[in-house]
Structure 1
Amino acid sequence: MTEYLSEPIARRVWEEKYRYRADGVIHDAAIEDTWRRVAHALATVEKPQHVECWEEQFYALLQDFKFLPGGRIQAGAGTRHHITLFNCFVMGAIEDSIAGIFESLKESALTMQQGGGIGLDFSTLRPQGVTARGVGVAASGPLSFMHIWDSMCATILSTGARRGAMMATLRCDHPDIEAFIEAKRDPLALRHFNLSVLVSDDLMEAVARDAEWPLLFPLGQDEEISGEIVVRRWSGMATPQPCRVVRKVGARALWQKITAAAYDCVEPGVIFIDRVNRANNLWYCEHISATNPCGEIPLPAYGACDLGALNLTRFVREPFSSLAVLDLDGVGAAASIATRMLDNVYEASGFPLQNQAEAARASRRLGLGLTGLADALIMLGIPYGSAESFRLAGEIMARIAHAAYRASIELAREKGTFPLFDREKYLQGEFVRSLPEDILQGISRHGIRNSHLTAIAPTGTISLLAGNVSSGLEPVYGWRYKRSIRAADGSLSALETQDHAYALYRSLHGEQAPLTPAFVTAAELPPAAHLGMQAALQAHVDSAISKTINVAEELSYSDFSGLYRRAYESGLKGCTVFRPNAVTGQVLTAGDEHMPDRQCCSIEREAD
């Protein structure tokens, strides 16, 4: 058994989530068997004469947790379990009818039953109080149906399936947006959802001008045109639609409601949806209005996310010394192999729905990212939030992105491009144009295998598996604390654990050695440090980043209220801010404090 499972919580995670058992038989006697199982399963889709070679390369990359594929891949690859290897999906547009709503609910349940988290845009549902088409009664509005999804998720959870995760989005100009913003003030409501407002550039401009903001909804077929009409590109519709203005609110008042709710109860988050669509590599054939549950993968209808993270702590040489250095060449080489591994998931996995298979394989999106960033910085002696930390993080992510794009070009030469590839239009993409010239020339000559290559996920559980390395790009929450682990039967247990870099430092220097200045926690960092790190990485991420800006409970609302605005001005695609509060409590607990059974998609988790 590898030394990294000596941490009790790491072994528990492996035992409960990733160790392969079937019909009472234990197939993975040790973590090495899990690595071998995953490596073999993803290599078998290669040409027969190349399977053994790629299996060994995949195994070497998995060894000692250098690369952490998404949790579904680790749990399902090479098993007989009837589950998908894709962590999350965005569901299709919800048709504004009872039949359409419950068909979407059924598809959501089938997806979650196989282990996929889901994202849904409820903007297609007409607002509360408007006459429902064809039946002459008042519509109950999107929030009423969200409660049905929430109950469905709880039911799926009660069967012992992987705990559900859902993201709900609503447009900032939907007439029910204020009720959506306030929904999480009830501590018992929508506990299986994360909520994010789709914030448009027009709203941000209206806020800046202190203008009125129209709340509206598309006219129904054959509906009489009356009142004030505005033409808008609406969720679930291919062309701009005439929309009736239902009422108007002050843009600043609406913005204040968003920030006040986030201050008081964490949600909603914000997604800067126009920026998401502008920067989308598939701008020419997709319109996005939802993300996966943690927000790092904006996806079209029925799209899927195929995630994995390079564990930066395994690339630090001579940690905590004057010779400490990060092996950037090793990071790049690992990113190249990881790109092939994740691409092979498309052939190795099934899908809950045929629509998902078709949509996912049309783009072959990958979400290769990183984890252990904060721990790696500590091991290198660089304080998180310093100018050097931003510079190095940007350099690391650029190395990962460029290696992944080059690997995807080579895969296109070998196996063909993704079906939606349009050479001329793809090369016009905002993000693509920022890539090095050799990559642009390679795409022009050979095409590319995957429409998107990079994303940064929370990696909460797989980072625990790797010895509790810091999660994703997040700073360290604390040096010692408790984490709750959900067993297969749905029960929770709290285990004490310690941060990987802290544990390593203590093993090298003893319990009494003073910590270096690089040992900083999330609570010690100003919000600007969180925003600065996310911005440094976003420049090299073609999808998005799941990042939580953790702030102190005592931070005043006046200081808090500008964070979402600063995130927008920093070029980010979205933002979530966590302030401890009476509704959601703390992210993690220290010492002997009791850890409550938090909602299933709380912000410290991953969709695993």
Structure 2
Amino acid sequence: MASKIEKDPVVAHRFEELLVQLENHGLKRNGYDALLARAADAETYYGDNDLAIDVLRNKYLAPGETGPLHIWDRIARAMASVEKDPQYWYDRFFSLLMDFKFIPGGRVMHGAGRDEARRKPTLSNCYVIPIEEDSLEGIYRCLSESAMVYRTGGGVGTDLSILRPQGAPVNATVDASPGCTAFMNLLSESTNAVSQAGRRGALMLTLRVDHPDIEDFITIKNDANRTKVQYANISVLITHEFMQAVLDDSDFDLRWDGKVFRTVKARQLWDKIIANAHASAEPGIIFWDTMREYHNVEYVNPLTSTNPCGEQPLASYTACNLGNLNLVNFVSADGEFDYEALGEAARVATRFLDNVIEYNMDNHALPKIREAVASDRRVGLGITGMADALVLMQSKYDSDEALEIINRVMSTICHNAYEMSVELAQEKGAFPLFDWEGIEQSKFIQSLPQSLQKKIAEHGLRNCTLITMPPVGTGSIVAQTSSGIEPIFCTSYTRRVKQDDGESFREYKVYHPLIQRVFGDDEDLPDYVVTAHEIDPYFRVKMQGVIQKYTDSSISSTINLPEDITLETVADIYITAYKEGLKGVTVYREGSREGILQTEGQADKKEAETPAVEAPNYMGPDGFLHRRRRPAVTAGITERINTGEGKIYVTINEDEYGICEVFSTIGKSGGNAAAQSEAISRLISLVLSSGVDPQEVISELKGISGPNPVWENGELILSTPDAIGKAMERYLQRKAGKQPDTVTPEDMPPSFVEGSEPKTLTTCPECGSTVSYESSCLMCKHCGWSKC
């Protein structure tokens, strides 16, 4: 290993001084000097993995830190500081963290031990902030409290079911309520406005399926430009009563405060949920009654909502403290899995996470949160690198063998975590709300081995919940593993790097870290290597069911579906998940958010041939042309195009007379590129709906040059207006049954290559590259940006 330490005597001396410091903290080096030397410097540790280096530096390294070694040391010192014997536990925690065997939640990696911070960031990833009363004061109190949480770096979940529905009287006056959905955009915009150290807030908004405003809630994001509630995830809380009504195809009452407001056909409401999930991956579906039945402290601290990714159901003002065991580190060179080491690591990790609660207590934004967190002491131990570990064991992700392996992995983690929580209760005391007669009502507690239940009854538990399967986005990047329990998303992808001229880009292939390390490239991979889009969705449900059996909280995982998947199949996947006892499931149809769900009509409705319609008279009595009235329903397509400003999404809609409107989205909302493209699109829509020939519009747009021309599928895109004009031209050519004009690949300059990355959700707001949808999160493989 030709590291900086070996090459530079001064660096070597500094490293030895660092090792002495670590030993003074309690570290037993145990022959790991070579690994520690590599980990002292990010470039040495990661080699040519530029993405991991960038993410580590931008998100996790504190001032003065240069590599993962410093993060492991800082976190171990912080978590050991609450122990009676900090040196002993420093060594145990450092050994757990070393080489990312255990990956704490992102807030812990960023904030633990950061004594230099003026305002200490929270180490909890997420909270639930309730609307405590059905009033304007209650709504704005929630808004204010959520903002305080965002400021410390936490995400928020809020349930809207307490709010009276649209049309209900307010304070016994003639005034009527605007309904709960009227406040969703307010909560969403606040999430975007408040940040901590550049980290934007994250928000989940939920609503019970029996709330009278449920249909408006489901379709709230269906505005043409998709700008409503754009900074929040939305999910429906599904009850057993509703699912039974769907299965029976019976009526279902929508009610609030004991009053039935109206009755609907359950299956029609279900179809609306499915149509939206199929079209745009939202709303999410949470099987709420199942969550409550398996919630360990529902008897005293009932669930209110979930965190932004849905894997952590929470009571009001409680928080989640997350960390993940990296399964790759438990597979030996000969492909054997070390279950004994995994069990011991689960025990140490449980103690680590319990210490996070103590260390972080003063960093919460509100006294209410401190009281709630102390009352039930929730932690969430999860796993990551599952798909990579299966590859190392030469076990195919979608195989019965893999189900057996993961069943043993999860039972080992779960039972050891609960055993440790019992021991911690004996050593430090049970969580204050513990009561055996209450907790034994939980179906999850009832599923534990009788011997373990007996220990819990006798000694109590330190933590009310212990197991969670979160998304492990940037954490998996710095650990160089597959994310969480997800399959490998793709074995390689294309990365774009701007050249020295500042205008052109060169693209090159980047491999999934394990694929590169084990196989060198992704040519002729063995059949036990499979990617997300190759796995049957029903098997994904089956695998999630195995993991859910040992998970007292919930799971964040995304089932990736092909673009042509039917509505019926999506509905059947959800129903299968419900029958399997899952607490929730997320599906993402490839490319689904690139289009716009129309406000009316079925997504799979076939176009009916209509006779030619006489064009309206656009001339008004004032002598000016005026646009024709827009119908309630339009039909069209959305096309994604590479431009020098990033990827642009061009939506072309038509009414009975032809093309009537064009929408385009590029770059960050509020940015210059976004503003210009919106202005262009509005003017195009105005002239098209005023009777101007689309070909004349196309001829005006095509050929406009910009500073950064790029090649896209054999065609030179000169600028954003040029891209819109060419998209309109291709649309008309397809309507006429013609093949759109393209340039052959042989005519392309050698410095550019056609992109080959899989279809994804949208563009990265940081670098403009495409992003993937994994573990209910958006992930940019190019710069490391993520959003959950």
TM-score band by shorter chain is 0.7 to 0.9
Which whole-Å deviations, capped at 9, do the CAs of 1:260-316 have from their partners, x for residues lacking one?
A: 110011011111111111111113113213111111111111110010000011111
Partner residue of 1:369 out of 355, 367, 382: 382
Which whole-Å deviations, capped at 9, do the CAs of 1:179-206 have from their partners, x for residues lacking one?
A: 1111233322222111110000000111
- Does residue 103 of the first structure (1) align with residue 141 of the second (2)? yes
Residue 568 of structure 1 is matched in structure 2 by 578
User: Normalising by the residue count of structure 1, what TM-score does the alignment of the two structures yield?
Assistant: 0.88
Residue 597 of structure 1 is matched in structure 2 by 764
Q: Given the superposition, is the C-alpha separation of residues 248 and 513 from structure 1 closer, same or farther in structure 2, using an over 3 Å criterion?
A: closer
Partner residue of 2:351 out of 337, 340, 344: 340
Partner residue of 2:475 out of 459, 462, 465: 462
Residue 107 of structure 2 is matched in structure 1 by 72
Q: Given the superposition, is the C-alpha separation of residues 483 and 418 from structure 1 closer, same or farther in structure 2, using an over 3 Å criterion?
A: farther
Give, in angstroms, the shift of residue 317 of structure 1: 0.8
2:485 is matched by which residue type in structure 1? L
Question: Map of 1:512-551 to 2, 5 A cutoff?
Answer: 514-551=524-561
Q: Given the superposition, is the C-alpha separation of residues 456 and 390 from structure 1 closer, same or farther in structure 2, using an over 3 Å criterion?
A: same
Give, in angstroms, the shift of residue 524 of structure 1: 0.6
- Does residue 40 of the first structure (1) align with residue 55 of the second (2)? no
Residue 299 of structure 1 is matched in structure 2 by 314
Give, in angstroms, the shift of residue 30 of structure 1: 2.0
How many angstroms apart in 2 are the aligned matches of 1:215 and 1:482? 49
Question: Map of 1:64-143 to 2, 5 A cutoff?
Answer: 64-80=99-115, 81=117, 82-133=120-171, 136-143=174-181
Partner residue of 2:297 out of 265, 268, 282: 282
Bigger mean CA deviation after superposition, 73-82 or 133-142: 133-142
Residue 240 of structure 1 is matched in structure 2 by none
Q: Given the superposition, is the C-alpha separation of residues 593 and 444 from structure 1 closer, same or farther in structure 2, using an over 3 Å criterion?
A: closer
- Does residue 328 of the first structure (1) align with residue 339 of the second (2)? yes
Give the gaps of 5 or more residues in structure 2: 1-37, 497-504, 596-639, 641-646, 648-754, 766-770, 780-785
Sequence identity (%): 40
Give, in angstroms, the shift of residue 433 of structure 1: 1.9
Q: Given the superposition, is the C-alpha separation of residues 591 and 607 from structure 1 closer, same or farther in structure 2, using an over 3 Å criterion?
A: closer
Q: Given the superposition, is the C-alpha separation of residues 496 and 105 from structure 1 closer, same or farther in structure 2, using an over 3 Å criterion?
A: farther
Residue 490 of structure 1 is matched in structure 2 by none
How many angstroms apart in 1 are the aligned matches of 2:183 and 2:146? 13
Give, in angstroms, the shift of residue 135 of structure 1: 5.7
Residue 553 of structure 1 is matched in structure 2 by 563
Give, in angstroms, the shift of residue 495 of structure 1: 10
How many angstroms apart in 2 are the aligned matches of 1:592 and 1:285? 47
Q: What secondary structure is seen at the aligned counterpart in 2 of 1:583? A: helix
How many angstroms apart in 2 are the aligned matches of 1:84 and 1:379? 36
Give, in angstroms, the shift of residue 530 of structure 1: 1.0
- Does residue 479 of the first structure (1) align with residue 491 of the second (2)? yes
Contact 1:293–1:607 (8 Å) recurs in 2: no
How many angstroms apart in 2 are the aligned matches of 1:65 and 1:496? 26
Query: Number of matched residues?
Result: 559
Q: What secondary structure is seen at the aligned counterpart in 1 of 2:253? A: strand
Partner residue of 1:208 out of 247, 263, 274: 247
How many angstroms apart in 1 are the aligned matches of 2:121 and 2:366? 12
Residue 489 of structure 1 is matched in structure 2 by none
Residue 224 of structure 1 is matched in structure 2 by none
Q: What secondary structure is seen at the aligned counterpart in 1 of 2:259? A: strand
1:324 is matched by which residue type in structure 2? G
Residue 488 of structure 1 is matched in structure 2 by none
Question: Map of 1:138-153 to 2, 5 A cutoff?
Answer: 138-153=176-191
Which whole-Å deviations, capped at 9, do the CAs of 1:558-577 have from their partners, x for residues lacking one?
A: 22221111110111001111
Which whole-Å deviations, capped at 9, do the CAs of 1:121-170 have from their partners, x for residues lacking one?
A: 0111111222222664221222221100111111114x753122111110
- Does residue 16 of the first structure (1) align with residue 72 of the second (2)? no
Residue 351 of structure 1 is matched in structure 2 by 364
Residue 189 of structure 1 is matched in structure 2 by 228
1:175 is matched by which residue type in structure 2? P
How many angstroms apart in 2 are the aligned matches of 1:393 and 1:36? 31
Q: Given the superposition, is the C-alpha separation of residues 448 and 497 from structure 1 closer, same or farther in structure 2, using an over 3 Å criterion?
A: farther
Give, in angstroms, the shift of residue 208 of structure 1: 1.4
Contact 2:515–2:522 (8 Å) recurs in 1: no
Contact 1:4–1:466 (8 Å) recurs in 2: no
Q: Given the superposition, is the C-alpha separation of residues 111 and 134 from structure 1 closer, same or farther in structure 2, using an over 3 Å criterion?
A: farther
Give, in angstroms, the shift of residue 496 of structure 1: 7.2
How many angstroms apart in 2 are the aligned matches of 1:428 and 1:582? 41
Question: Map of 1:356-505 to 2, 5 A cutoff?
Answer: 356-467=369-480, 469-481=481-493, 497-505=510-518
Which whole-Å deviations, capped at 9, do the CAs of 1:327-380 have from their partners, x for residues lacking one?
A: 111111111000000000111112111111111111111100100101111111
How many angstroms apart in 1 are the aligned matches of 2:787 and 2:465? 19
Q: Given the superposition, is the C-alpha separation of residues 244 and 568 from structure 1 closer, same or farther in structure 2, using an over 3 Å criterion?
A: same
Higher RCO (CA 8 Å, separation ≥ 6 residues): 1
Q: Given the superposition, is the C-alpha separation of residues 169 and 590 from structure 1 closer, same or farther in structure 2, using an over 3 Å criterion?
A: farther
Contact 2:156–2:204 (8 Å) recurs in 1: yes
Contact 1:383–1:517 (8 Å) recurs in 2: yes
Q: What secondary structure is seen at the aligned counterpart in 2 of 1:299? A: strand
Q: What secondary structure is seen at the aligned counterpart in 2 of 1:174? A: coil
Q: Given the superposition, is the C-alpha separation of residues 193 and 495 from structure 1 closer, same or farther in structure 2, using an over 3 Å criterion?
A: farther
How many angstroms apart in 1 are the aligned matches of 2:244 and 2:437? 32
Give, in angstroms, the shift of residue 584 of structure 1: 4.6
Which whole-Å deviations, capped at 9, do the CAs of 1:67-86 have from their partners, x for residues lacking one?
A: 00100011111013321110
Residue 170 of structure 1 is matched in structure 2 by 207
Give, in angstroms, the shift of residue 597 of structure 1: 3.0
Greater C-alpha radius of gyration: 2
Residue 328 of structure 2 is matched in structure 1 by 313
Give, in angstroms, the shift of residue 592 of structure 1: 9.9
Contact 1:4–1:64 (8 Å) recurs in 2: no
1:203 is matched by which residue type in structure 2? F
Give the gaps of 5 or more residues in structure 1: 219-242, 485-492
Residue 227 of structure 1 is matched in structure 2 by none
Give, in angstroms, the shift of residue 4 of structure 1: 4.9
Which whole-Å deviations, capped at 9, do the CAs of 1:92-147 have from their partners, x for residues lacking one?
A: 23422111111110000000110000000011111122222266422122222110
Residue 273 of structure 1 is matched in structure 2 by 288
Q: Given the superposition, is the C-alpha separation of residues 256 and 511 from structure 1 closer, same or farther in structure 2, using an over 3 Å criterion?
A: closer
Give, in angstroms, the shift of residue 483 of structure 1: 8.6
Q: Given the superposition, is the C-alpha separation of residues 463 and 497 from structure 1 closer, same or farther in structure 2, using an over 3 Å criterion?
A: farther
Give, in angstroms, the shift of residue 91 of structure 1: 0.8
1:551 is matched by which residue type in structure 2? L
User: Normalising by the residue count of structure 2, what TM-score does the alignment of the two structures yield?
Assistant: 0.68
How many angstroms apart in 1 are the aligned matches of 2:280 and 2:593? 6
How many angstroms apart in 2 are the aligned matches of 1:395 and 1:592? 33
Give, in angstroms, the shift of residue 497 of structure 1: 4.7
Contact 2:285–2:585 (8 Å) recurs in 1: yes
How many angstroms apart in 1 are the aligned matches of 2:485 and 2:758? 27
Q: What secondary structure is seen at the aligned counterpart in 1 of 2:158? A: strand
1:474 is matched by which residue type in structure 2? E
Q: Given the superposition, is the C-alpha separation of residues 14 and 453 from structure 1 closer, same or farther in structure 2, using an over 3 Å criterion?
A: same
